[in-house]
Amino acid sequence: MNFDRRTGWSVAAGVTVIAIIAVYIREWRHGDARSEVATTGAPARIPEKASAKSREDPLASPRSLRQVGLPVELTRKVIPQDNPQTPEKIALGQKLFFDGRLSADGTVSCATCHDPALAFTDGRTASIGIHGRAGQRNAPTILNALYSDAQFWDGRAKTLEEQAGFPITNPVEMGQPTLDAAVAAIAGIEEYKQAFQTVFGRPVNGANLVRALAAYERTLVSFDSPFDHFIAGNKNAIDDSAKRGWELFNTKARCNLCHAQSELARDVTNFTDFDYHNIGIGIVRHKVVPLAREAQQKLATGNLNDIDRAAIETEMSVLGRFLITKKTPDTGAFKTPNLRNVLVTAPYFHDGSQATLWDVMDHYNKGAGLQNPWLDEDIQPLALSESEIDDVVAFLASLTSAEYKELGDHELKRQRALSQTNRPQRDTKRAFGPKIPRPEPPR
């Protein structure tokens, strides 16, 4: 299996054999490739610290390219020419991803916050790095991150290569003074010396370290959900509630205005416009103006390491995309996330402020419900009934890939139980009321 999968990845780098992959996909639908990726039992939301052991978890393996719904052509296109996929590079990247020795005190790896058993998230509101230090933001999944044209909630990194350097040197994440310090920490290890020599033909260096990490991340493609089987023609792959939810998503609930590549055609692949919007999360109006002023001063040079620290460590984090562009309309705007596997990546939003998908729906249903001068014009009360909310949640749950089915079943039960006792965001009066005019931005 492993051989097969890796062969898949090395050919993906070339153009010629895409046709073969397409044939595989057709074959796969009749085969048993589903068993290729094992599922785990349902763990608690917050696991033990990720250990080297999770590298052996089948969920940590490069994924098969033979998945229903996987966009073959796009997957090939997003592999950069200057960092082609090779089996050896991917294996090296996987090793590095799970290696705590890249952090300043040897305890925190990428997998600490992006745990394969939790769909490459950490289940926390905001992530915790070395010395138990908490950041400001919720860890997004790495699954399907290869398709994004910018990384992080505010898009401050353009590529996965560029992204990988930031957590290594962020003081509350992996805490290294420089990327070279992380290089020094592993450069003497025989296993790495040999692997870097084989893959890149030279000793360990920072540029190649992040290349290997990115190559591994580009194998984390996750499709093959009930929804994909539905779109592929199996009308019974999702239930009637999820079908109604998919209709609502594209109509009355207005989700497609942002969670689709275009408003003109239904997006069945990534569920995002790859753009930034203020949808009213974590915006506390009286703080924003002084924070924006502070950001203008402290981040004037546009130094990305300073921006990274502001985003992860300071209250300026709430400014979102503004930290990068310094444009007023970007105040509190964040990247529209891909919705695949969203059921198993709770809690939600850039600050992890919402516990369940019902809370997310209540937020949208009332049109954010905040006096927020930067709120996206497309956010408005939706007048969704309780059963319509359940339908949209059922649709979102149908985006859970086969390898997370058990975790998803467990999570849906957990969230449903929570939502039955607690709906902190529900505001029916607002949801069925008029759109509230947006206040003028303060000066």
State which residue, 218 or 410, has the beta carbon closest to ligand HEC: 218
Q: How far is the CB of 234 from ligand HEC (least distance, A)?
A: 23
Interacting residues with ligand HEC between 65 and 94 (CB under 6 A): none
Sign of the CA dihedral running 32, 343, 337, 295: negative
Sign of the CA dihedral running 23, 29, 33, 37: positive
Q: How far is the CB of 4 from ligand HEC (least distance, A)?
A: 25
Q: How far is the CB of 210 from ligand HEC (least distance, A)?
A: 8
Inter-CA distances, 414 with 243, 358, 401, 407, 424, Å: 22, 12, 18, 10, 16
Q: Is 228 left (phi over 0), alpha (psi -120 to 50) or beta?
A: alpha
Query: Tokens 């996330």 correspond to what residue?
Result: 337
Q: Is 355 in the site for ligand HEC (CB under 6 A)?
A: no
Binding region for ligand HEC (CB under 6 A) out of 45-53, 82-90, 339-347, 422-430: 339-347
In the list 4, 149, 315, 378, the residue contacting ligand HEC (rule: CB under 6 A) is 378
Residues 132-154 as b/e (b if ≥16 CB within 10 A, e otherwise) read ebebbbbbbbbbbbbbbebbbbb
Q: Is 281 in the site for ligand HEC (CB under 6 A)?
A: yes
Q: Is 259 in the site for ligand HEC (CB under 6 A)?
A: yes
Distance CA 368, CA 362 (A): 9
The CA dihedral of 65, 70, 71, 72, to the nearest 10 degrees, is: 20
Q: Is 179 in the site for ligand HEC (CB under 6 A)?
A: no
Sign of the CA dihedral running 109, 112, 118, 124: negative
In 3D space, the residue among 102, 137, 104, 144 whose CA is nearest the CA of residue 120 turns out to be: 144
Q: How far is the CB of 127 from ligand HEC (least distance, A)?
A: 4
State which residue, 65 or 346, has the beta carbon closest to ligand HEC: 346
In 3D space, the residue among 114, 122, 97 whose CA is nearest the CA of residue 44 turns out to be: 122
In the list 64, 83, 163, 401, the residue contacting ligand HEC (rule: CB under 6 A) is 163
State which residue, 108 or 185, has the beta carbon closest to ligand HEC: 108
In the list 174, 183, 319, 431, the residue contacting ligand HEC (rule: CB under 6 A) is 174
Interacting residues with ligand HEC between 116 and 135 (CB under 6 A): 127, 129, 135
What single string gives the DSSP state of each residue in 229-278?
Answer: HHHTT-TTSS-HHHHHHHHHHHTTT-GGGTSSS-SSS---SS---S-EE-
Binding region for ligand HEC (CB under 6 A) out of 9-17, 24-32, 34-42, 152-160: 152-160
Q: How far is the CB of 425 from ligand HEC (least distance, A)?
A: 12
Residues 186-215, one symbol each (x = binds ligand HEC by CB under 6 A, - = not), give ---------------------------x--
Q: Is 98 in the site for ligand HEC (CB under 6 A)?
A: no
In the list 69, 140, 367, 408, the residue contacting ligand HEC (rule: CB under 6 A) is 140
